Structure 1
Amino acid sequence: MPDEHVPDDVPSPDRDVPSDSPHASDVHPRHAAEGGDEQASDDDVPGRGTPGRRHTFASLLRPRLNTSQLIVAVLCAALGFAFIVQVRQNQSDSLSSLRQSDLVRLLDDVTQRSQALEREYSSLRVTRDELQAGSGSQQAAIKLAKDRAATQGILSGRLPAQGPGVTLTIEEGTQTVGAATMFNVLEELRNAGAEAVQINGVRLVASSWFALAGNSLVVDDVPVTSPYTWVAIGDPDTLAPALGIPGGALAAVRSQGATAEVKSATKVEVTATREPEDPKYATPVPVSTAGTKR
């Protein structure tokens, strides 16, 4: 087949057409696209891209919400809302859906539980009241026991004591005061209500006694010498007159040549103590057979 003659002025697809050529505007679109690709490749070269191109690449990394995704999100929200409404409706209708017999049984169970709780509450209140009463009684008993122990300790001579009372000083003359005379002084003080008595540092109790050993006075196996200093706790207005009555204990002391002086005070101290002795013969009476207290 003879070769077709191509005019020299027709541009070849593989040749570049000068910009001032009359055929520059007739460049094929495919070549224009290839030229655009070459330009884009130039932009991808480091240092040759533009800021607008970089911003476009960063925007590609950000997530975009299209229409389908928006529709799916709305449907999910609607489905969740419907589920919540259905759950709440089921909870509110749980009792209404029960039969009458079931409701009656449920009500009976609640009533029985309430009654059981009321009984437990009442029992706990009773227990609390008993504990409080027992605690108060126990404290009162402890206080009473302490008070009684203190009283018994003073009366038995086991504890020292202080309070209003009198001080009696007897000083012998030319002769010794007899033991019986001194014992009468003790009895006079007791009869006048003395609660604690001592003489020359010896505590006098219910079992105390006086004796003479030659010319010396002995009190509960303890020798004492003149002057004899008595300390008695009690009502001074009762003790002092009781000692000074005519023909009484002090009158007998003075009749034996001794002197006696009584001084009242709002506070005196009986410091002497002694351990009480256990009784040899007496024993407590059982509570069941004890007589009525008088």
Structure 2
Amino acid sequence: MSLLNNVMEHSLDDGYAEAAARRGATGTSRLPGTLRGRLVLALGLVLAAVVVTVGAAQTQVAAPTLAKERQKLIDRIESETRTADELQKSVDELRDDVAARQRQALNDQDGEAERVALLAGATPVAGPGIELEVNDAKEASSGGGNDPRTTSDFSDTGRVRDRDMQRVVNGLWASGAEAISINGQRLTSLSAIRAAGDAILVDNRPLVPPYTVLAIGDPQKLSTSFLDSADGQYLHVLQENYGIRTRISEKEKLELPAAPSLIIRSATPVPSTGPSSSASGNGKGTH
């Protein structure tokens, strides 16, 4: 009975009672779980709002700096472009001056120096000839069949390629053309027709279709000879089988510009030793 009376009189452990008394004396109590969760959520939202506000403020502060740097880059590009244009203009003027001085120094009354300049592409030229336009097909077709240029690198046979223009130009030279240009770009013995992706480059300058080829020479002979040549037949195959569009016409007068640059890095002239050497050089120049 004494044990039962003790349990009834001391239902709460003495340690728990003492801790509860201390909490009551300091005025603190344990918060319910739901209230603690709400406080943690509110604190997290406050911290997120602070982070977003600070980030927006930093972005707003940095925006003028980025805009200034971008404008500086644009101004620099425009300035360098103007400088390049001025240098190109100066190069053209110096080239014309050098050509005039060369003609004056040679004092060639027979016009040999001018003929050499015409053959080299160093001066504009005019005369009769043909105009050949080569353009992509309206709808490019897939590779295959009897395509004379089929390789693993070319699946779009409806587009004009650099190798096509190479064959056209070589065929015109072989047919008797005296001067050739493509889209206003004068070709010389140093000219190169290459590709950069889908673009065709002539002396590293990109061209866009249609490709207009001007060739000076006897219009009828030049046209007939080219169309009957292997290169003319090659172009005809591309037209018939893959829709590449071509058009050739004879012109009474064509005007071709001078080549933009003629830079010789390795070849040097052979010193003249007498009349026989001069005759040999002339024969080679007109071949």
Per the normalisation by structure 1, the TM-score is 0.47
Larger radius of gyration: 1
Per the normalisation by structure 2, the TM-score is 0.48
